[in-house]
């Protein structure tokens, strides 16, 4: 999917942090906060893990890819994935991070949604034409339902990007203290 489109609808965001720390020290401290593992969306038993670490992913010397760990009874629904790089500039470390709220699995969800509502609306219109327009009353209900089914996940993804940006800022400044 085109990143410029995702940026316009606020499902991808970039941020930069300038921290007064050396790169090797920051990488070491970040590794202490990140549980090694995959950053995929589906980890069914991750919420039952006893780890106290906030993030899951990979932290390398050249960059990182992390996401917030799933917690039991966590209502935030964190979709955001962060990919970042570090550049040492004198005594400051510049961290450039891209926060992605839209994951590939959501393409399948939206394709299914379009197919389902296309079939549903087509079947309803055929039934309405056979019954002298009696079924046309349901069209506004179908359209409103479709807007909610497509809009609510979008709002969750957008909120996830915003929250991750805020949480990263807090976490990085907490790490250097």
Domains and CATH numbers, the chain: 3-105+149-175 (3.30.310)
Q: Which strands, in side-by-side order, build the sheet including 63-68?
A: 12-19, 92-100, 81-89, 63-68, 55-59, 34-36
Q: Tell me the pTM.
A: 0.82
| pLDDT score, position 64 | 94
**Cβ-based burial of 12 (10 A; exposed 0-12, middle 13-18, buried ≥19):** buried
pLDDT tens per residue, the chain (177 residues)? 568 889 999 999 999 999 999 999 999 999 988 888 766 655 555 554 656 777 888 999 999 999 887 666 666 667 788 999 999 998 999 999 999 999 888 899 999 999 999 998 888 888 777 777 666 777 888 889 999 999 999 999 999 999 999 989 998 888 887
pLDDT attached to residue 113: 95
What's the confidence (pLDDT) of residue 129? 78
């Amino acid at each position: 999917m085109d990143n410029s489109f995702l940026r316009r609808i606020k499902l991808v965001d970039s941020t930069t942090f300038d921290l007064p720390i050396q790169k090797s020290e920051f990488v070491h401290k970040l590794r202490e906060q990140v549980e090694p593992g995959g950053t995929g969306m589906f980890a069914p038993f991750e919420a039952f893990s006893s780890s106290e670490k906030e993030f899951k992913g990979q932290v390398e010397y050249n960059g990182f890819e992390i996401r917030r760990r799933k917690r039991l009874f966590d209502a935030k629904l964190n979709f955001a994935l962060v990919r970042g790089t570090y550049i040492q500039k004198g005594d400051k470390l510049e961290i450039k991070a891209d926060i992605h709220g839209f994951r590939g699995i959501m393409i399948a969800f939206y394709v299914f949604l379009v197919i389902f509502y296309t079939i549903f609306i087509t079947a309803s219109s055929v039934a309405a034409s056979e019954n002298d327009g009696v079924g046309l009353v349901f069209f506004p209900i179908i359209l409103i339902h479709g807007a909610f089914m497509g809009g609510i996940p979008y709002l969750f993804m957008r909120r996830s990007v915003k929250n991750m940006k805020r949480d990263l800022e807090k976490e990085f400044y907490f790490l250097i203290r």
